[in-house]
Homo-oligomer: A and B are copies of this chain.
């Protein structure tokens, strides 16, 4: 990782977490519900989605200020989805990033409500926390994009199809891609598109960036599957080999490990090429592509 990228990731992660935790801490809501929401928000991770929002603003040479609430909105949605996905009736996971999952600490009922609360509240970061530099029309466009990315057309629909696919022995590659493009890809696309919208990018640029984020989304998922085979349990915070044990269809299981690595490189190459054709500062986005391709957690 280049020192510039490292510096960018560290400072932005800090800015996002400061804003996010303060925002939730200051809500006048039942204390135990707030604790449950904060527990999962604080459980951390790379904050990749908000970082992408800020990276786009940075690449266009714009102030990153309004990217922070928008980034926190998508982080809230990502966090709620993890809480609900971990529930006993869903993936039934006891550990997430090496810590007990929300329902193991707060009980299932609170976990359901904490997820519902995070999902709902995320939209208010956009209605009420952006500066006057963002027009009402821009805000509505971002909310509309967030709904399409997070709801039944996007992430929730992908999670639903993923659950159904787990009942089957093996699924075709096209179906696997459709599931991941929605389950994990759509929120990444939201982050990139919303950053570009805030930066005032042209509609053409935004369309190209959607394609860019489609490729990094697939690359992200392939890397996830590879880490499940080759990763360090300590770094990824969960048991290695669980996909194989669960007989889950993955890129390596459908393409072999070396085939999956090749596909990962293809998607990263295509993502970088799209960026190279845009009029913006390219280095940071190229570095993020490399990070997604080679991350160890």
Contacts and interface: CB of A to CB of B under 8 A. Distances in A.
A153 B28 contact: yes
Chain copies in the assembled complex? 2
A157 interface: yes
B120 A29 contact: no
A89 B117 contact: no
Contacts of A107: 89
Given A30-B152, A37-B152, A119-B119, A160 B113 contact: yes
A139 interface: yes
Contacts of A29: 152-153, 157
A281 interface: no
Q: Label chain A's interface by main secondary structure.
A: helix
Q: What size tier do the contact residues of chain A reach?
A: 35 or more
A160 B107 CA distance: 12
Interface stretch (A54-62, A142-150, A215-223, A246-254): A142-150
B89 A33 contact: no
Contacts of A139: 136, 140
Nearest to A124: B147
Given A87-B112, A144-B128, A30 B160 contact: yes
Interface of A: 27-30, 32-34, 37, 80, 84, 87, 89-90, 107-110, 112-113, 115-117, 119-121, 123-124, 127-128, 135-137, 139-140, 143-144, 147-148, 150-153, 156-157, 159-161, 163-164
6 contacts: A30-B161, A112-B112, A117-B152, A124-B147, A135-B136, A140-B140
